Chain A
Amino acid sequence: MQLDQLYQEIILDHYKHPHGRGLRDAAEPGDRVAEAHHVNPTCGDEVTVRVATDGAVLHDISYDGMGCSISQASASVLHELLRGRGAGEAFAVHEAFVELMSGRGQVEPDEDVLGDGVAFAGVARYPARVKCALLPWMAFKDAAARAGVGASPTEVTA
């Protein structure tokens, strides 16, 4: 088992220098803002993801949390990838990320869709860590639904 497959530079970078961290109020007047707090009961990792949207575009995705490098880097990547995107696009990315993480290392990630998220391909080979990577993404889905941007239920097999 190669440790550097798991701890790719990109992941460590996002962990040490997280992008867009901190919960923010809506910048756009009229946006609906909602958040979701998720915990990983096995390790106590926590993340809160907040979504600000007018129903069509996700104007901001802010987050805060504490946890391992994988969960915190994943939140940073989520923010990078989905902020400012249309809801439909965002959920396509969400789906691709969940598919990658559920693939036990057998799914070839598409960098055009997943950007820095491709760095998590190695994490999918560590079943104990898949939940860490998915934690902010699941919180995002709940927050988005609460903000009125529904996602179709995603099957996760971790």
Chain B
Amino acid sequence: MTSIAIPEGMPQYDDVPRFDVTRVRADFPILDREVNGHPLVYLDSANTSHKPRQVLQVLDEHYARHNANVSRSVHTLGTEATEAYEGARAKVAAFVNAPSVDEVVFTKNSTEAINIVAYAFSNASLRADADPRFRLGPGDEIVISEMEHHSNIVPWQLLAERTGATLRWFPVTEQGRLDESGLDDLVTERTKLVSLVHVSNILGTVNATARITERVREVGALLLLDCSQSVPHLPVDVVALDADFVAFTGHKMCGPTGIGVLWGRGELLAAMPPVLGGGSMIETVSMGGSTFAAPPARFEAGTPPIAEAVALGAAVDYLTALDMRAVQWHEKEITAYALDALASVPGLRIFGPTVPVGRGGTISFALGDVHPHDVGQVLDSLGVQVRVGHHCAKPVCTRFGVPAMTRASFYVYTTTGEIDALVGALEQVRKVFD
């Protein structure tokens, strides 16, 4: 083996934290299984990630040893469960550098997190005494982008319908980047909220938000970032992002389904009216009316997904131990390898950035005229699991003139060997549909 000496003063190989992907894979029991007689090649982590043993054990142990309801019991099990639940909140807060634990609201998923903000706007718009930053009416504007997941489109369409506000959006360039050229005309004094995806779930684009944030501040609007595809894959610091709200979901970051997070600046959460009413979110209740708890409890009506939250805490521990900078770098290397490898497949067209800069490990593509459903079916017969369809981002498909796309997405356990398996399987697709 030859080694190349990198001159002093240049970036060195070890400057970047790395992990051993073989050891990481050993943590994920599902990666041992076969699919249709072939080793599992799981390239659908943008859809949901797999769960390491460390997370599964915590989930199991919670139910086996500490099961009780939270925030209402004086007994030992209730105290243990509450401590675990609140401990998970603290872990999540630290993971995204939230200034306060109370700024972390547990939700069902990103969709619910975004809807909580949308319905807070909606409810505030019905009350003259509500915080004016959340009051919407005709003439007010909400700004999103063409590359949003449906979960960051539909809640705002519905909100605009309810309040008479107008929904506007950033277009997407041919290269799959956010078109910011019209920023000053799009985000104006009329804008009350800008809600943008941080990393696109379909194009893989990482949106540089600094210019937009600056403009949002200039006009006095609020900024929500959908970080569903960024928090699992790269270090996210809500203070550095200077967002007002951040939404993400547990199941894409080694955690279980049924648990997501809304982070909001404390002062804003405190100014928001409640959305779901019920137990746990109140201060006092009388037959004549109720007053409400401070955040985050105000937005966590009913028994929350306790075990799921605790397991999300374990997922955060797991990712922190890997080091999110190492996670980011691993995916960057895999993405660079995959972009090169896919470019070698005849007739393959990549949607979104074709260089591993300003993009994450999610690559959507078309293979000639073969419909993505057919691509996915042939790949599945060879054990390769990709997502096909519109990826809950139909406007992106429309933008690029296709009804659907095939998407391969990577995570901490993805290997270059799996990319090779994908490329080999695509050859088989071409044979069936020559």
**Cα distance A66–B432 in the bound complex, in angstroms:** 19
Instruction: Provide the residues of chain B in CB contact with A45, threshold 8 Å.
Output: 371, 373, 403-404
Q: Indicate if B372 sits at the interface (CB-CB under 8 A).
A: yes
**Which one of A3, A44, A46, A67 contacts B378 once the chains associate, using CB atoms below 8 Å?**
A3
Closest to A46 in B: B403
**Which one of B373, B380, B389, B432 contacts A70 once the chains associate, using CB atoms below 8 Å?**
B373
Interface of A is mostly: mixed
Closest to B370 in A: A69
Q: Indicate if B57 sits at the interface (CB-CB under 8 A).
A: no
Smallest distance from the beta carbon of B347 to chain A beta carbons, Å?
A: 16
- Mark B401-434 against chain A: 1 for CB-CB distance below 8 A, else 0: 0011000000000000000000000000000110
Instruction: Provide the residues of chain B in CB contact with A68, threshold 8 Å.
Output: 371-374
In the complex, the answer to whether B389 meets A44 with C-beta atoms within 8 Å is: yes
Q: Indicate if B254 sits at the interface (CB-CB under 8 A).
A: no
Instruction: Provide the residues of chain A in CB contact with B380, threshold 8 Å.
Output: 1
In the complex, the answer to whether B381 meets A3 with C-beta atoms within 8 Å is: yes
In the complex, the answer to whether B433 meets A69 with C-beta atoms within 8 Å is: yes
Q: Indicate if B397 sits at the interface (CB-CB under 8 A).
A: yes
Q: Which interface class (under 10, 10 to 19, 20 to 34, 35 or more) fits B?
A: 10 to 19
- Mark B377-394 against chain A: 1 for CB-CB distance below 8 A, else 0: 110110000001110001
In the complex, the answer to whether A66 meets B403 with C-beta atoms within 8 Å is: yes
In the complex, the answer to whether A7 meets B389 with C-beta atoms within 8 Å is: no
Instruction: Provide the residues of chain B in CB contact with A129, threshold 8 Å.
Output: 373, 377
Instruction: Provide the residues of chain B in CB contact with A152, threshold 8 Å.
Output: none
In the complex, the answer to whether B390 meets A43 with C-beta atoms within 8 Å is: yes
Given contacts A7-B432, A43-B390, A44-B390, is CB(A67)–CB(B377) below 8 Å?
no
Q: Indicate if B36 sits at the interface (CB-CB under 8 A).
A: yes
Central interface residue in A3, A12, A46, A126, by most chain B CB within 10 Å: A3
- Mark A85-121 against chain B: 1 for CB-CB distance below 8 A, else 0: 0000000000000000000000000000000000000
Smallest distance from the beta carbon of B227 to chain A beta carbons, Å?
A: 25
In the complex, the answer to whether A132 meets B373 with C-beta atoms within 8 Å is: yes
Instruction: Provide the residues of chain B in CB contact with A46, threshold 8 Å.
Output: 403
**Cα distance A66–B397 in the bound complex, in angstroms:** 14
- Mark A122-137 against chain B: 1 for CB-CB distance below 8 A, else 0: 0000100100100000
Interface residues in A53-74 by Cβ distance below 8 A to B read 66-70
**Cα distance A56–B76 in the bound complex, in angstroms:** 75
Instruction: Provide the residues of chain A in CB contact with B394, threshold 8 Å.
Output: 44
Interface residues in A1-59 by Cβ distance below 8 A to B read 1, 3, 6-7, 12, 42-46
In the complex, the answer to whether A67 meets B432 with C-beta atoms within 8 Å is: no
In the complex, the answer to whether A44 meets B432 with C-beta atoms within 8 Å is: no
In the complex, the answer to whether B390 meets A1 with C-beta atoms within 8 Å is: no
In the complex, the answer to whether A43 meets B388 with C-beta atoms within 8 Å is: yes
In the complex, the answer to whether B432 meets A43 with C-beta atoms within 8 Å is: no
In the complex, the answer to whether B381 meets A42 with C-beta atoms within 8 Å is: no
Given contacts A42-B389, A44-B389, A44-B390, is CB(A1)–CB(B373) below 8 Å?
no
**Cα distance A126–B397 in the bound complex, in angstroms:** 25
**Cα distance A129–B376 in the bound complex, in angstroms:** 11
In the complex, the answer to whether A3 meets B397 with C-beta atoms within 8 Å is: no
**Which one of B388, B390, B404, B432 contacts A3 once the chains associate, using CB atoms below 8 Å?**
B432
Central interface residue in A67, A68, A69, by most chain B CB within 10 Å: A68
**Cα distance A44–B394 in the bound complex, in angstroms:** 8
Smallest distance from the beta carbon of B158 to chain A beta carbons, Å?
A: 17
In the complex, the answer to whether B381 meets A44 with C-beta atoms within 8 Å is: no
In the complex, the answer to whether A126 meets B388 with C-beta atoms within 8 Å is: no
**Cα distance A29–B374 in the bound complex, in angstroms:** 40
**Cα distance A129–B373 in the bound complex, in angstroms:** 9
Instruction: Provide the residues of chain A in CB contact with B397, threshold 8 Å.
Output: 44
**Cα distance A158–B373 in the bound complex, in angstroms:** 17
**Cα distance A70–B370 in the bound complex, in angstroms:** 12
In the complex, the answer to whether B372 meets A69 with C-beta atoms within 8 Å is: no
Contacts beyond the supplied A43-B390, A45-B404, A69-B371: 16 A-B pairs with Cβ under 8 Å: A1-B380, A7-B377, A7-B432, A12-B433, A43-B388, A43-B389, A43-B404, A44-B390, A44-B403, A45-B373, A68-B373, A69-B433, A126-B377, A129-B373, A129-B377, A132-B373
A–B Cβ pairs within 8 angstroms, 29 of them: A1-B380, A3-B378, A3-B381, A6-B377, A7-B374, A7-B432, A12-B432, A12-B433, A43-B372, A43-B388, A43-B389, A43-B403, A44-B390, A44-B404, A45-B371, A45-B373, A45-B403, A45-B404, A67-B403, A68-B371, A68-B372, A68-B373, A68-B374, A69-B374, A69-B433, A70-B373, A70-B374, A126-B377, A129-B377
Interface residues of A (CB under 8 A from B): 1, 3, 6-7, 12, 42-46, 66-70, 126, 129, 132
Interface residues of B (CB under 8 A from A): 36, 371-374, 377-378, 380-381, 388-390, 394, 397, 403-404, 432-433
Closest 10 CB pairs of A and B: A68-B373, A68-B371, A44-B403, A43-B389, A3-B381, A44-B390, A44-B404, A1-B36, A69-B374, A68-B374
